[in-house]
């Protein structure tokens, strides 16, 4: 007899300190009901990365995406404002914008040609003259809350209640910390997308293990990080893992991972920002199904001119190599999580405080969803 959803959520004790805590139960990584509840709560009710601002430079620039299972379009209007909408036509629900990104003078639905302005108002409805009680003004694209932070556009799917927090409140200390990091000097260079046969939380757990796996899994990266000095700092909804950089044996890695320290920021639930000197990459972890996940890497550099191209490419390739090492282990973990032999595991006090924070925030998100 399967446990009820309530029992599944209650089987994780979020009150235990790290020394006594276990991971979330294995079933949270395999149960479709948990996946559906996560979409509704964890993804539907908090702020999420939707696009880079550099994709939306001019009026009419747009990006489509899917968040919490909802089709989303983010677009820069004629008034230069960035807005978000549900990308579902008010006529018969087709996606209005069908490309991942582009520029358009207006948003035209490919199905029956309804057109919406860049501000979302319904403008054109072919062959619709004799329809009674149809108010065009009430049939614009439904808006989604949108806010900007640093180089990124964030959206929140569920319409905020009066006490819902702003993006700035959601980010907390990160706002001030990033002000001093000057990442506006970094320019987008390339995007790489990976698909993994694992639950999205396996990838996040792997990221948040405080470097625990680095000496074992990433020998090249390990040679340039001072693993013993690795620090882990939890904020309200973020974790900062940081390591001093040393000159290591792996010349290939060393030449593209330089500077004093590496900073790895994770923002609940699924966005990571990795900073080295003159290099940044972000990882967006997108759930596809309960055991399938897409991870989008965006690479940024201070210098993106043609002369820097080769160096930048080499840096992206290093990221690619590290990612492939992570990919295999994540798929191995997913298989183990489905085994009758595994239910939950304990956490390293020295290394896995970030994972503990992630699991407690998840529990709070899911439990809030059962109210
Ligand atoms: S569904 Fe968009 S015009 Fe009919
Ligand atoms: Fe890794």
* Residue 61 alpha carbon to ligand 2 centre in Å: 34
CA of 113, closest atom in ligand 1 = 3
Three-state SS at 65: strand
- How many whole angstroms separate alpha carbon 341 and alpha carbon 363? 23
* Residue 203 alpha carbon to ligand 2 centre in Å: 9
Mean pLDDT on 47-52: 98
* Residue 323 alpha carbon to ligand 2 centre in Å: 7
Mean pLDDT on 156-166: 85
- Among 134-138, 180-184, 250-254, 256-260, which is the least confidently predicted range? 250-254
What ligand is nearest to the CA atom of residue 205? 2
Mean pLDDT on 177-184: 92
Distances (CA, A) of 69 to 58, 72, 333: 28, 9, 25
Mean pLDDT on 38-59: 97
Q: Kindly report, residue by residue over 220-260, the tens digit of the pLDDT.
A: 777 778 888 899 999 999 999 999 888 766 666 666 666 78
Q: Kindly report, residue by residue over 273-308, the tens digit of the pLDDT.
A: 999 888 999 999 999 999 999 999 999 999 999 999
Q: Is there an atom of ligand 1 within 6 Å of 92 CB?
A: yes
Model confidence at 141: pLDDT above 90 = yes
* Residue 219 alpha carbon to ligand 2 centre in Å: 10
- Whether omega before 269 lies within 30 degrees of 0, making that bond cis, reads yes
pLDDT score of 222: 75
Q: What's this model's pTM, rounded to 2 decimal places?
A: 0.95
Q: Kindly report, residue by residue over 299-319, the tens digit of the pLDDT.
A: 999 999 999 999 999 999 988
Q: Where residue 108 falls among pLDDT bands split at 50, 70, 90? A: very high
pLDDT score of 305: 96
pLDDT score of 277: 87
- Please tell me the residue having the least CA distance from ligand 1 atom 3: 112
Q: Is there an atom of ligand 1 within 6 Å of 110 CB?
A: no
Model confidence at 126: pLDDT above 70 = yes
* Residue 313 alpha carbon to ligand 2 centre in Å: 20
Q: Is there an atom of ligand 1 within 6 Å of 29 CB?
A: no
Find, among 318, 90, 332, 291, the residue nearest to 200 by Cα.
Answer: 291
Mean pLDDT on 168-197: 95
Sheet strand arrangement including 238-244: 187-196, 292-301, 279-289, 271-276, 261-267, 238-244, 231-234
- Please tell me the residue having the least CA distance from ligand 1 atom 1: 92
**Which residues, at least 6 apart from 293, have a Cβ–Cβ distance to it below 8 Å?**
195, 196, 198, 199, 200, 202, 203, 285, 286, 287
What ligand is nearest to the CA atom of residue 274? 2
Structure tokens, 118? 């860049």
Q: Is there an atom of ligand 1 within 6 Å of 89 CB?
A: yes
Model confidence at 345: pLDDT above 90 = yes
pLDDT score of 66: 98
Q: Is there an atom of ligand 1 within 6 Å of 122 CB?
A: no
What ligand is nearest to the CA atom of residue 98? 1
**Which residues have a beta carbon within 5 Å of ligand 2, which is an ion?**
326
The overall average pLDDT reported for the chain is: 94
pLDDT score of 220: 77
Q: Is there an atom of ligand 1 within 6 Å of 94 CB?
A: yes
* Residue 112 alpha carbon to ligand 2 centre in Å: 47
Find, among 370, 365, 371, the residue nearest to 38 by Cα.
Answer: 365
Residue ranges of alpha helices (H) inside the chain are 5-10, 32-38, 167-171, 174-181, 200-207, 214-217, 219-222, 251-254, 309-337, 353-369
What ligand is nearest to the CA atom of residue 89? 1
pLDDT score of 221: 76
- Contact by Cβ (8 Å): 59, 80: yes
Model confidence at 91: pLDDT above 90 = yes
Residue ranges of alpha helices (H) inside 223-352 are 251-254, 309-337
**Which residues, at least 6 apart from 122, have a Cβ–Cβ distance to it below 8 Å?**
90, 114, 115, 116, 136, 137, 139, 140, 141
Q: Where residue 175 falls among pLDDT bands split at 50, 70, 90? A: very high
- Among 77-86, 117-126, 135-144, 247-256, which is the least confidently predicted range? 247-256
pLDDT score of 258: 66
Q: Is there an atom of ligand 1 within 6 Å of 114 CB?
A: yes
pLDDT score of 371: 58
- Top pLDDT among 266 and 247 is at 266
Phi, psi of 335 (to 5 degrees): -65, -40
Find, among 305, 298, 293, the residue nearest to 283 by Cα.
Answer: 298
pLDDT score of 240: 97
């Amino acid at each position: 007899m399967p446990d009820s959803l309530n029992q599944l959520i209650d089987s994780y004790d979020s009150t235990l300190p790290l020394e006594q805590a276990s991971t979330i139960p294995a079933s949270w990584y395999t149960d479709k009901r948990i996946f559906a509840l996560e979409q509704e709560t964890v993804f539907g009710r908090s702020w999420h990365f939707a696009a880079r601002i550099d994709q939306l430079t001019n009026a009419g620039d747009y990006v489509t995406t899917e968040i919490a299972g909802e089709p989303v379009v983010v677009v820069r209007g004629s008034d230069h404002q960035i807005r978000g909408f549900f990308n579902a036509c008010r006529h018969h629900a087709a996606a209005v914008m069908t490309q991942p990104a582009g520029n358009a003078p207006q948003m035209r639905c490919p199905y029956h040609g309804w057109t919406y302005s860049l501000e979302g108002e319904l403008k054109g409805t072919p062959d619709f003259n004799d329809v009674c009680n149809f108010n065009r003004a009430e049939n614009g694209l439904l808006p989604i809350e949108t806010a900007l932070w640093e180089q990124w556009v964030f959206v929140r799917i569920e319409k905020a209640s009066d006490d819902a927090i702003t993006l700035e409140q959601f980010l907390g200390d990160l706002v001030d910390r990033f002000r001093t990091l000057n990442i506006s000097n970094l320019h987008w260079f390339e995007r790489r997308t990976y698909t993994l046969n694992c639950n999205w939380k396996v990838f996040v757990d792997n990221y948040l293990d405080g470097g625990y796996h680095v000496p074992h899994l990433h020998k090249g990266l390990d040679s340039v990080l001072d693993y013993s000095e690795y620090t882990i700092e939890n904020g309200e909804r973020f974790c900062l893992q940081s390591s001093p950089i040393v000159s290591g044996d792996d010349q290939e890695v060393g030449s593209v991972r330089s500077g004093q320290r590496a900073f790895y920021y994770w923002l609940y639930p699924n966005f990571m920002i990795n900073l080295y000197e003159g290099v940044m990459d972000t990882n967006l972890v997108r759930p596809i199904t309960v055991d399938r996940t897409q991870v989008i890497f965006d690479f940024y550099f201070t210098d993106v001119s043609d002369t820097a191209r080769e160096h930048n490419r080499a840096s992206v390739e290093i990221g690619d190599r590290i990612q492939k090492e992570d990919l295999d282990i994540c798929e191995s973990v997913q298989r183990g999580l489905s085994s009758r032999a595994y239910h939950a595991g304990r956490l390293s006090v020295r290394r896995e405080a970030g994972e503990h924070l992630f699991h407690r925030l998840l529990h709070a998100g899911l439990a809030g969803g059962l109210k």
